[in-house]
Amino acid sequence: MTPADPDPEAGADAAFASARPRLIRLAYRMLGSRAEAEDVVQDAWLRWHGAAQAGIRDPAAFLHRTVARLCLDHLKSARHRREVYPGPWLPEPVLHPDVTAADDITLHLMVALERLSPLERAAFLLHDVFETPFEEVARVIGRDPAACRQLASRARSHVRAARPRFPVAEATARTVAAAFHAATRTGDTEALRSVLAADVVVYTDGGGQRPAARNPIVGEDRVVRFFAGLARKSAGRPVRLLHEGWIDGLPGFVTVDRNGVLQTTAVAIEGGRVIAVYIVRNPDKLRHLGHLAAVEAPLGG
């Protein structure tokens, strides 16, 4: 090969590198785990290099198809694990520097997506979020385009029900989240009630490895008692705030308690009130945030 000849391997690497961020987003939205998404995309890279690339007209479509199919295979086994999961299952939290860095699939909506079948989830994400034509979606999931439209439509109705009816301004979201955080730290029940919706729901994911509620906590009164009780137990042993910002598109914060237990808390807000709280304490889902424990942020900061 002369210096003027193109390097096929370098071209393949460049094509994959260009598609990789989008592939990671797709796999994470499908699986709810950044670590598993990385594994799937790595597997796709191996398949990409093992493919006869000269015959691939659209590398991006090939890679999206490969990742989506790998995710569907993974979900078939993951679904059983999640059915026997100890308590609520929540996606692995991903931090964003600001709300504009996250896409419109928030953690709140990912929990709604978890209730869908794998095919519904794939059809919705590929078509509605990643703008894949239904003809291509059909090739990915092995259904005809009409069936894919029905799958996406059913998924869309679930997602629509989970979306806040009125978008919340970023400044309002930050203010409400900060007020919620302050009230949970002090156990101030009146302050808590002032930021909670009447039908608020709290989900806590400890993965069977950290103390957590085994069932969702529903309703303002129960949620107030829950956080007031936690504040009493930690009296004199305040948690340390490590990060305050955006977690999968929702305002939230990362804390660590006196025993070194790391936790993320994200809140969904509608009408200036907290409608859902998502708490992840499962250490397997927080390993990528361990570096934050070395940096202390000012409370409320």
What's the pTM?
Answer: 0.86
- What's the pLDDT score for residue 296? 47
Residue 137 pLDDT greater than 50, yes or no? yes
Contact 146, 42 (CB under 8 A): no
Residue 189 pLDDT greater than 60, yes or no? yes
- What's the pLDDT score for residue 298? 41
Residue ranges, comma separated, of all CATH 3.10.450.50 domains in the chain are 170-294
Contact 248, 93 (CB under 8 A): yes
- What's the pLDDT score for residue 6? 53
Q: What is the pLDDT of residues 34-89, one digit of tens each?
A: 889 999 999 999 988 877 666 677 888 889 899 999 999 988 877 767 778 889 99
Binned at pLDDT 50, 70 and 90, residue 300 comes out as very low
- What's the pLDDT score for residue 83? 74
- What's the pLDDT score for residue 11? 73
SS3 category, 244: strand
Residue 101 pLDDT greater than 80, yes or no? no
- What's the pLDDT score for residue 20? 94
Sorted by sequence, the CB contacts under 8 Å of residue 248 that are 6+ apart come out as 91, 93, 94, 96, 102, 106, 107, 110, 266
The CATH class given to the 170-294 domain equals alpha beta
Q: In what order do the strands lie in the sheet with 273-280?
A: 95-96, 240-247, 250-256, 262-270, 273-280, 196-205, 217-218
Residue 200 pLDDT greater than 50, yes or no? yes
Q: Which of 150-159, 180-189, 235-244 is predicted least confidently?
A: 235-244
Query: Structure tokens of 118?
Result: 């794998």
SS3 category, 241: strand
Of 66, 67, 158, which is closest to residue 114 (Cα–Cα)? Answer: 158
Binned at pLDDT 50, 70 and 90, residue 114 comes out as confident
Of 132, 116, 48, 53, which is closest to residue 82 (Cα–Cα)? Answer: 116
Sorted by sequence, the CB contacts under 8 Å of residue 205 that are 6+ apart come out as 87, 88, 89, 90, 212, 278, 279, 280, 281, 282, 285
Query: Structure tokens of 52?
Result: 């006869």
Binned at pLDDT 50, 70 and 90, residue 105 comes out as confident
Q: What is the mean pLDDT of residues 238-243?
A: 86
Residue 206 pLDDT greater than 90, yes or no? yes
